[in-house]
Structure formats: structure tokens, C-alpha cells
Amino acid sequence: MRRIFIIALVVFNLQVLIAQVEKKEFNYIICVDEDIIKVLQNPKITVKKDNVIIKEIPVLYYPGRLLLNTEDYEYISLLTEYEKLYLKFSYNDYSNKNKQEVFNYEIEIGVNWFDKSYLILKIYNTCKKQYKNKLEPLEGKKYTFDLETSNGQMIRIRKS
């Protein structure tokens, strides 16, 4: 009886270990106001259909790496044009006066973003002085973004 219990425990632990290892890794660098971000608060990918959240997928981010479960990646790869993906996270910024400011981002992403060999997402807070008169924010937001990938780049039009 004891031997069966030990074998069952080993098998269970092995399954947990395998489930934790099955991650899909992507080469992502996220910059906010020209600084590479080292820590994101509550990063996730939200799947919406008709502006209704149908699934939230937790992700891990380390500078240069975005990780999600293989199962979640397979789910994303099967989405249709009617579902939209959003990368959502918060970022804490500390000013020179030791004042903390929390920024919340929701960036619409494409399924094809996961096909790139690398991706650099550059977010600009248009409420900050250095970007206020240079960049137009996204509709209803206080930020905008540029994107660089292995296939090219998407740069927002700058104000003259």
C-alpha cells in the first residue's frame, strides 16, 4: 500500500513538473518611454469578441522573453478574425521626486505577432512632456506605440 502511494505521488509530481515546463517562448522586448522594462505588473493576454472578454491568458515577461503555456498558444493560433487579442499590463514609473505613477496599458496585438523571430514594442506616454507635442495618443488612451519586428516596423506619425 505504501509503495503504491509513493508511486502515485511520484507520478503526480512528474505531471505537475511537465505541465510547468510546457511553455512557448517569444523574443519580446517592451520599452516604455525609451527604457527597457524589467518588470510588468499582472501581464496577460485578453481575448475579446464584440468587446466582451472571452478569455484571459496569463503570461510571464522577462526582458527579451514573453512566455505563455503551449496550450494557450495553440488556442491563440486558432482564433478567427472576429476575436481580438490585447496585451494588458501595468507598469510602475518612479519620477525624480520619488513619486510613483502607475500606468495601465492595453495594446491590441495580432496573432501574427507570435510568428516573428523578435518583436520590440515601444510605448510612449503622451501625457509626459517629452511626447505630448510629438505624438498623438491612441483613441481614448494616454499613450501610443511603435513596433519593430523581424519583418519590418510600424512607426506612428509624428507631429511636425
| pLDDT band (50, 70, 90) for residue 21 | low
Quick one: pLDDT at residue 10?
Answer: 59
Percentage of residues in the chain having pLDDT higher than 70: 86
For 134-143, what is each residue's pLDDT tens digit?
A: 889 999 999 9
Report how many domains make up the chain: 1
Q: Is residue 119 part of a domain?
A: yes
For 46-96, what is each residue's pLDDT tens digit?
A: 999 999 999 999 999 999 999 999 999 999 999 888 999 999 999 988 877
Q: Is residue 97 part of a domain?
A: yes
Least confidently predicted of 70-79, 95-104, 122-131: 95-104
pLDDT higher at 81 or 11:
81
Q: Is residue 98 part of a domain?
A: yes
Quick one: pLDDT at residue 25?
Answer: 93
Residues 6+ apart with CB under 8 A from 90: 40, 41, 42, 102, 103, 104, 105
Q: Is residue 128 part of a domain?
A: yes
CB atoms under 10 Å from CB of 59, counted, come to: 21
Q: Is residue 129 part of a domain?
A: yes
Q: Is residue 139 part of a domain?
A: yes
Quick one: pLDDT at residue 1?
Answer: 64
Domain that holds residue 56: 25-154
Percentage of residues in the chain having pLDDT higher than 90: 56
Q: Is residue 6 part of a domain?
A: no
**What does the block give as the cell for 49?**
469578441
Q: Is residue 71 part of a domain?
A: yes
Would strands 41-49 and 52-58 be described as parallel, antiparallel, or unpaired? antiparallel
